[in-house]
Structure formats: structure tokens, C-alpha cells
Amino acid sequence: MAVMNIIQAVNSALMNEMERDERVVVLGEDVGKFGGVFRATQGLQARFGEARVFDTPLAEAGIIGTAIGMALYGLKPVPEIQFADFIFPAFDQIVNELAKYRYRSGGQFGAPVVIRTPYGGGIKGGHYHSQSPEALFIHTPGIKVVVPSNPYDAKGLLISCIRGDDPVLFMEPKRVYRAARGEVPETAFTVPLGEAKVTRAGKDVTLLGWGSMWWECDKAAKAAEERGWDVELLDLRSLMPLDVDSIERSVKKTGRVVVVHEAPRTCGFGAELSALVAERWIEYLEAPIVRVTGYDTPFPYTLENEYLPDPNKILAAIEKVMTF
């Protein structure tokens, strides 16, 4: 096994799958010769040629729109959207076309397009290189939403997505693109969608996080330990489909829940998680659920550290549910 960061793990997944299945193609802005602005597609064009790995004109609606056409014809396109903030010109193609194509054709056609995109803050990216728009897509039936937090999951989940038959938004936590490192097999393997991972068992509080926020949660969980609070941390990994069973097990054990995400609070995915837990297992709850999230403002530049959830804010939330 090699030690990889998330970029390398993504690259390795693409290498493996392009090797394995000639229907897999990679397209997007600057993904070809340059290998992507984060270099996740580096070396793919040299290995698989310009027909299967290519730069497109600068138009996200065109990237996704043509990827849909390719998928209808039987290819497995893996387009890259350079930053999640730039996915919105393709929003109509994703929400009205990609996500609904199978349903509206009565199952005749499928369009298994796997959209990779780096998301999230903490890199001094301001409004437009920081957003976390997962909730918009989770609210869109027909597309899956997957967010790895580490290299192993990044590779295993991406391969599952590419081998699957559904459209997926695969969101990569760019803040920890290079910082998150770990052992990853060089050969292909899969991590199934729809399974959360309990990365830390605990009996007092259930902490729900994903992507780059998982790292903040993990720090907070360690700090909580010093305070004598035993945190169970779930890395949700696949937000749609969601692993409701794992959440249920943990909530029934701890009776206390803290949810963490970067996106603005109102109508973020945290709202769904909070609602779901309280609706189904309210009688197990020892304290109100607390959400630690971005605020209801656009993503700032200078004050991004104040804006973002961090171990201190998460710890404060843990304290709140522990001392209710």
C-alpha cells in the first residue's frame, strides 16, 4: 500500500477505472494536459489519450450537458467542475435533466454521470472558492451525493460511484486535499455508498460530520475526551443515500447529537439530520440537538476563521448537550 493524499487517491481511482473500463472518460476545464488546477487528473491524458481525457470550453452547462449525452450513449463520463462554486451554471442540467432523466423516461434511459468537484472553505477563497452546496443536491431526487474525508474513502467511494448506474455529485474536501494522508491500495477497491463510518466509538454524544469538517470534529472529540465526554463520531461519507441505521444505533446509545457542516445553517443538511433524529427517536434524546454550521451569510474572506465551525465551537456544542 502506498501513502496517498486525497488528490493522489482520486487520481489513482481514475487511473484504475479508466484502465478497467474504456467507457470511462474525463472532461472539464484544464483537466487535460495540465491535469486540473488541483492536479487530480494529472497524467491521465498522457496515459489514455486526448479522446478520453480532454479540456472543454469554459462552460459548466456544456460540461454537464455533453456528459449527459455521452452517458445516454453508454459512456461513463466523470466530469470535473473546477470549484463547487462554479457548478451553478450547470444547475439546470443537473437538477432538471441529469437527476430526472431515468425517472421521466420510465427507466428507459440512465445517465450515470459522476461529477467530481472540490468544495468547502478554509483556504482563503472568499465567496466563490469556498461554498458547500451539498444541501441543494440532496434536496434533488435522482442524484446521489458523496463526500469523502480521507484518501482511502475518496478512492473507494469514487470507484463505487463510477461503477454505479446513477448520477453522483462527488464532493472533494479541498481544504484537506493534501493534508489528509493515509494508506491506500494502488489497485482498485470499493467502499459502498450509503454506509457511514463510526470513526470513534463513544457513549455520551453522537457527532455527525463529513468531508473536511470531519477533521474538525475529530479534534473536538479528542478535546472532549479531556473534559471527560465520550464522543461517538460518525463520518457520514454518503449523504444521499444516507445511512440512517448507523445514525439510529448511535443516537439510541448516546441520546445526544451535534451536527457539523460548513454551509449556511438555514436549510443546510444539518437541518435534515436534526429533523430526522428528533422525529424518529425523540424519546431517546437527553438534550436538544445542536447544529454547528456556517452562518447565514455569503462565505467571507478575511473573517473565514470566525465563520467556519472549528473545534472550539464544536466543543462548546458538546458542552451544551452534555450539560443540558
Partner 1 sequence: MAIEPFQILDEEGRARPDLAPDLPGEDHRRLFEVLLCTRRLDERMLLLQRQGRIGFYLGCTGEEAVAVASAYALRPSDWIFPCYREHGAVLWRGMPLGLFVAQCYGSRDDITKGRQMPIHYAWREANVASVSSPVATQIPHATGMAMAARLRGSEDVALVFFGEGSSSGGEFHVGVNFAGVFKAPVVFVCRNNGWAISTPASRQSAAESYAVRAVAYGIQGELVDGNDILAMVVKVREAAARGRRGEGPTLIEARTYRMGAHSSSDDPKAYRDPQEPERMKARDPLVRYRKYLAARGLWTEAWEAEIEERFAREVSEAIARTEKAGPPPLESLFEDVYAEPTPELVRQRQELAAQLGARRKAAAA
- Residues annotated as catalytic are 129
What CA–CA distance (Å, rounded) separates 193 from 147?
10
Nearest to 30 by CA among 55, 61, 66: 55
- Residue 226: phi, psi to the nearest 5? -60, -30
Q: How far is CA 110 from CA 105, 142, 220, in A?
A: 9, 10, 42
Binding mask 251-270 toward partner 1 (x if CB under 8 A, else -) reads: --------------xx----
Of 55 and 230, which CB lies nearer to partner 1 in the complex structure?
Answer: 55
What CA–CA distance (Å, rounded) separates 181 from 155?
12
Q: Does 92 bind partner 1 (CB under 8 A)?
A: yes
* Binding site partner of 228, from a copy of itself, ligand TPP, partner 1, none, Cβ cut-off 5-8 A by kind: none
Tell the smallest beta-carbon distance from residue 30 to ligand TPP (Å).
Answer: 7
Which residue stretch of 81-89, 140-148, 173-181, 304-312 sits at the interface with ligand TPP (rule: CB under 6 A)? 81-89
Q: Which residue is associated with the grid cell 486526448?
A: 50
Q: Does 141 bind partner 1 (CB under 8 A)?
A: yes
* Binding site partner of 139, from partner 1, a copy of itself, ligand TPP, none, Cβ cut-off 5-8 A by kind: a copy of itself
Tell the smallest beta-carbon distance from residue 88 to a copy of itself (Å).
Answer: 4
Tell the smallest beta-carbon distance from residue 189 to ligand TPP (Å).
Answer: 32
Amino acid identity of 313?
K
What CA–CA distance (Å, rounded) separates 8 from 17?
14
- Residue of 11, 12, 93, 132 that binds partner 1 (CB under 8 A): 93
Q: Does 252 bind a copy of itself (CB under 8 A)?
A: no
Binding mask 140-179 toward a copy of itself (x if CB under 8 A, else -) reads: xxx-------------------------------------
Q: Does 103 bind a copy of itself (CB under 8 A)?
A: yes
Which ranges in 6-124 belong to alpha helices (H)? 6-20, 44-48, 60-72, 91-92, 101-104
- Residue of 20, 252, 295, 324 that binds partner 1 (CB under 8 A): 295
Tell the smallest beta-carbon distance from residue 5 to partner 1 (Å).
Answer: 18
- Residue of 29, 97, 218, 304 that binds ligand TPP (CB under 6 A): 29
Sign of the alpha-carbon torsion through 313, 215, 141, 247? negative
* Binding site partner of 192, from a copy of itself, partner 1, ligand TPP, none, Cβ cut-off 5-8 A by kind: none
Tell the smallest beta-carbon distance from residue 289 to partner 1 (Å).
Answer: 16
Q: Which helix (H) or strand (E) holds 119?
A: strand 114-119
My answer on whether omega of the bond before 241 falls inside 30° of 0, hence cis, is: yes
Q: How far is CA 136 from CA 33, 88, 143, in A?
A: 32, 10, 11
Burial label for 165, CB within 10 Å (0-12, 13-18, 19+), is: exposed
Q: Does 89 bind ligand TPP (CB under 6 A)?
A: yes
* Binding site partner of 51, from partner 1, ligand TPP, a copy of itself, none, Cβ cut-off 5-8 A by kind: partner 1
Residue 188 near residue 159, CB atoms below 8 Å: yes
Q: Which residues contact 265 (CB under 8 A, 6 or more apart)?
A: 271, 291, 293, 294, 295, 296
What CA–CA distance (Å, rounded) separates 165 from 129?
30
Of 31 and 184, which CB lies nearer to partner 1 in the complex structure?
Answer: 31
Residues that bind a copy of itself in the complex, under the rule CB under 8 A: 85, 88-89, 91-92, 95-96, 99-100, 103-104, 127-128, 135-136, 138-142, 240, 263-264, 266-272, 274-276, 278-280, 282, 285, 287-291, 295-298
Residues that bind ligand TPP in the complex, under the rule CB under 6 A: 29, 58, 60, 82, 86, 89
